Amino acid sequence: MSNATPSIAIVGYGSQGRAHALNLRDSGFQVVVGLRPGGPTERQAKADGFTVRTPADAVADADLVAVLTPDMVQKQLYADVLAPHMKQGACLLFAHGLNVHFDMIAPRADLDVVLVAPKGPGALVRREYEIGRGVPCIYAVHQDPTGNAEQLALTYAAGLGGARANIIRTTFKEETETDLFGEQAVLCGGASSLVQAGFETLVEAGYQPEIAYYEVLHELKLIVDLFYEGGITRMLEFVSETAQYGDFVSGPRVIDASVKARMKDVLTDIQNGTFTRNWQAEYDAGLPNYRKFQQADKDHPIEHVGKQLRAKMTWLGEQTGAQAGAPAQPQSEAA
């Protein structure tokens, strides 16, 4: 196998899959996309100019196979398609380590097994590459029978544009557990619950829902952008002294030691596999609770108010946020 120019099969063409495939092709790699025939992602991949084959055909001749399907379909995908069809000594690459770390996938002993995870959604990975920059990547090596695994991971990360920003070595354990924790406690679960609670507090106190929306959700982007650019220090430099003082005295009242203790409970459930077992059971049962939780968020009053207000924000347009430029499809169709 050539470490410089491995042939790559991308399995899955959702937000990350599309970005990876486009960036790697533009970096000079031979890329084929493996998808189920007839789905919306197949149409998108063909429209983007890729050769599209069934997953089994796509991986058969590939030096490197990138698994970019949803977590809960990967175990079956590996058993049915990857294990029987990947060639000896190929490299199996994941963008998230959940299935390997929690032993849902036990890769063949002859395969190099690596992880490359860009620290950003697919549309950002693509957009940064197109303008000559890159999104930082983390990488890990799980198996290295050929001795080439680390170089392949670094080559892949560079092809995504990661070398233009930063590439950091990690482990499957560290990536999986910190990624799950970040999503649950801060980025998705924590942030959305904080916003909803703030909205409810203001509305229940008699303030207009529209004003509450602007205060606790709309303006959050301005603060997060400052975090992104220069950390908490930069945020404090750009808000008023009144806001700073409120930050100092009231932030710890809301996010106190009891919140951190519950965060540790969340982390424990991630580390010992409780979360993954529960998620697998939920998926196997047909996602009844998942769909109920999802609908409850969609039905929350802040969503109805926000939809009305955003309709007046003409600058947002039809394609905004993390998914701009990526095909929209439910999780089950991402492969």
Domains (range + CATH), the chain = 8-170 (3.40.50.720), 188-255+287-322 (1.10.1040.10)
Contact 120, 187 (CB under 8 A): no
pLDDT of residue 5: 87
Give the C-alpha separation, 196 to 202, whole Å: 10
pLDDT of residue 39: 85
Residues identified as active-site: 96
Instruction: Confirm or deny that 28 is annotated as ligand binding.
Output: no
pLDDT of residue 319: 47
pLDDT of residue 3: 46
Instruction: Confirm or deny that 215 is annotated as ligand binding.
Output: yes
Give the C-alpha separation, 150 to 237, whole Å: 41
What is the strand order of the sheet 167-169 is part of?
Answer: 51-53, 31-34, 8-11, 64-67, 91-94, 112-118, 137-143, 167-169
pTM of the model: 0.91
Instruction: Confirm or deny that 36 is annotated as ligand binding.
Output: yes
- Residue pLDDT tens, the chain, 335 long: 444 589 999 999 999 999 999 999 999 999 999 999 998 899 999 999 999 999 999 999 999 999 999 999 999 999 999 999 999 999 999 999 999 999 999 999 999 999 999 999 999 999 999 999 999 999 999 999 999 999 999 999 999 999 999 999 999 999 999 999 999 999 999 999 999 999 999 999 999 999 999 999 999 999 999 999 999 999 999 999 999 999 999 999 999 999 999 999 999 999 999 999 999 999 999 999 999 999 999 999 999 999 999 999 998 874 454 444 433 343 433 34
